[in-house]
Each structure stands twice: as structure tokens, then as C-alpha cells.
Amino acid sequence: MSEKHWIQMTVLLSIVIAFVIGGLLLINNHLSPLEGSASRYLSHLGKSDGRAACSAMTRNAQSELAATYRTKNCPAAMEEMLDPLTAAE
């Protein structure tokens, strides 16, 4: 491989690495809020705090959970979901 090709490959590889790192940083910035919400949700669930767990959910997810458990709202659905687990302790 000639020196010219070596330099071109090095530059091309550097550009690809820069794009990959930039993409990973961009994805990380977009996932951070989601990770925070998921962490809060799981923390509240672990404490059997259904009302707080609902506050970490989107309104759509809250409605879907209430519909699944056929309750009037998300906290009531959480209570239905968590009661059997609490009784098992």
C-alpha cells in the first residue's frame, strides 16, 4: 500500500470513528431522560408507591394501564397490580 493510500485510509477511518462517537453521544443524550424516567418508575414500584410510579409514566401509558386493570385511573390500577405482590411478602 502506498503512502498516499495509507494517509487516505487513516483520514477515512478517523472520519468514520468521529461519526460513530458523535452518534453514540447523540443517542446517549436522547436516552438519558428515558433512563431517568425508567429508574424513577422502578424505584417507586420497588417501594410499592403506585401514585409516584404513575407520575413517572406518560399519560398514554397511565391510561393504558388503567384500561388494562379496568380501573378509573393509574394509581387505582397500580394498587390492583401491587396488592398481590404486597400480600406475598
pLDDT digits (tens, 9 = 90+) for 74-89: 999 989 888 877 655 5
Above 70 in pLDDT, residue 30? Answer: no
Number of domains within the chain? 1
Its domain, for residue 81, covers: 3-88
| 86, three cell numbers | 404486597
Cα 78 from chain centre: 19
* pLDDT score recorded for residue 13: 74
pLDDT at 85: 72
Decide: 66 and 77 in contact? Cβ < 8 Å: yes
Distance CA 22, CA 15 (A): 10
